[in-house]
Chains A and B, each alone.
Chain A
């Protein structure tokens, strides 16, 4: 694997009107890395992730994907997004489609695969997340954890180079959190590049190769999980993690 950065963020800022949410963010993602972004609610984690997928347009700065600045207006956002998957807190499965069609529609419409290939591919990923028996169900008939696993399968079926998770377990009860994190652990072991915004500290410590701690729109500290969770240098990081480390 080349050590070229998949993603490089340079001086990224984002403001909604006068309210500055992100200030001068810099960080890089190498292939196969699992980057966990942690921090208090409102610290800008989700906005950062949404900027990476262009669901929000950065106010200034660069988001370099293989060296190309995708924040540039000339770049085709749709084709970039088809290579970088995203999993949302509220699942966002298509309510008008069955589980199987949710995982096929992107392959057929965006990647222009034929139906049979798309179906086989979708089945393989649904199998992987343990949702293969449910292909005929509509999203409204599933539990939260099941929906999130389908959402992960849908993102994987596009065979993305990188997968973004925006608080994937925040809307789930503890048992469902377990089933979703199990799937994500498997993906991490298989070497998929992931950026995960999460409040699951134990998961972040165990799975990530890189941890970013954010507070008030800036990156306060980043590094190896052992360092961030074991010996945080920054005062804010220590305060944020104090409850977790004691408990």
Chain B
């Protein structure tokens, strides 16, 4: 079968010849983006939580110094990885590891590592912001019933912070789906690399990248819809059922205490 003359015909031709390659590329893109975002979120939560540990004058000097050093290192990590392009980081880490340390990382390991550590740097700030956005009253309420700092974080603050930063996590996932294309510089055969190969082989740049654009958009749009649905689920229903079987029960907000109570003994 020879190459058709018209645009749509060429696209059909590319799909029939290279459809599976496009799908494999898209699959790799998604895998790197999802795993990278998940690990990045874990890194981000860990860093963000450590950065918001309160230290006061009443704490032990050793604890304060140790925390100070850890926070400084984490700050450097966040600033360096937020402040340099991922493409440059990919080259630096992948080739640097083998040239300087003699550590030849596999291409997959490099891909996951670079995306995770990058997302982690962004998420650290997002999580920190999410924790700081929670009303201090929530912490006081938890403290007042005797919760420790860790219990307060796990049960009260983090669930609320997570809900607040969900849109940002979605944002990161979508950015990662698109930004995996920079990994093509170290030879990761994801969607962009595949498309470039197809385009170059048949000299069909416009057609091949039309297909790539559509695939990228379908991937990101689907993800953003799924995440939105998840957010709504986290919010729970807008209504609640009154937990009473007595339909005549007084439920308008006032409650009468005039009836004699039996509790006196």
- Give the interface of A toward B (CB within 8 A): 53, 55, 57, 73, 77-83, 85-86, 88, 90-96, 98, 105-106, 109-111, 129-138, 141, 143, 145-146, 151, 154-155, 158, 175-176, 178-179, 182-183, 186, 190
Contacts and interface: CB of A to CB of B under 8 A. Distances in A.
Interface string B144-164: 111110010001100110010
17 contacts: A57-B58, A77-B143, A79-B146, A80-B146, A81-B144, A85-B144, A88-B140, A88-B144, A91-B141, A94-B138, A94-B156, A96-B159, A105-B155, A129-B255, A133-B249, A179-B255, A183-B257
Contacts of A98: 240
Contact of A154 (B145, B239, B257): B145
Given A95-B138, A109-B151, A155 B145 contact: yes
A149 B230 CA distance: 32
B263 interface: yes
Nearest to B246: A133
Interface size class of B (residues with CB under 8 A): 35 or more
B137 A132 contact: no
B241 interface: yes
Given A57-B58, A134-B242, A137-B240, A81 B146 contact: yes
B254 interface: yes
A136 B243 contact: yes
Contacts, number: 108
A110 B147 contact: yes
Nearest to A93: B141
B254 A175 contact: yes
Nearest to B236: A138
A179 B254 contact: yes
B243 A133 contact: yes
Nearest to A175: B254
Interface of B: 56, 58, 135, 137-138, 140-148, 151, 155-156, 159-160, 163, 236, 239-244, 249, 251, 253-255, 257, 261, 263
Contacts of A105: 145, 155
A95 B145 contact: no
A151 B148 CA distance: 19
B21 to A, nearest CB: 46
A190 B262 CA distance: 12
A110 B155 CA distance: 11
A37 B161 CA distance: 36
B244 A133 contact: yes
B163 A78 contact: no
Nearest to B238: A141
A133 B145 contact: no
Contacts of A57: 56, 58
Given A73-B58, A96-B159, A133-B251, A85 B141 contact: no
Which of A96, A110, A134 has the most chain B CB within a 10 Å cutoff?
A96
Contacts of B243: 132-136
Contact of A78 (B148, B255, B263): B148
A55 B253 contact: no
Which of A134, A143, A158 has the most chain B CB within a 10 Å cutoff?
A134
A190 B146 CA distance: 24
Nearest to B145: A106
A242 to B, nearest CB: 32
A83 B260 CA distance: 30
A132 B244 contact: yes
Contact of A141 (B155, B160, B240, B263): B240
A190 B263 contact: yes
B254 A82 contact: no
A95 B140 contact: no
A186 B140 CA distance: 26
Contacts of A131: 255
A53 to B, nearest CB: 6
Given A94-B142, A110-B145, 12 more contacts: A55-B144, A78-B146, A78-B147, A79-B146, A81-B144, A106-B145, A133-B243, A134-B242, A136-B240, A136-B242, A138-B240, A155-B145
Contacts of A81: 143-146
Nearest to A103: B145
A106 B255 CA distance: 26
A91 B144 CA distance: 12
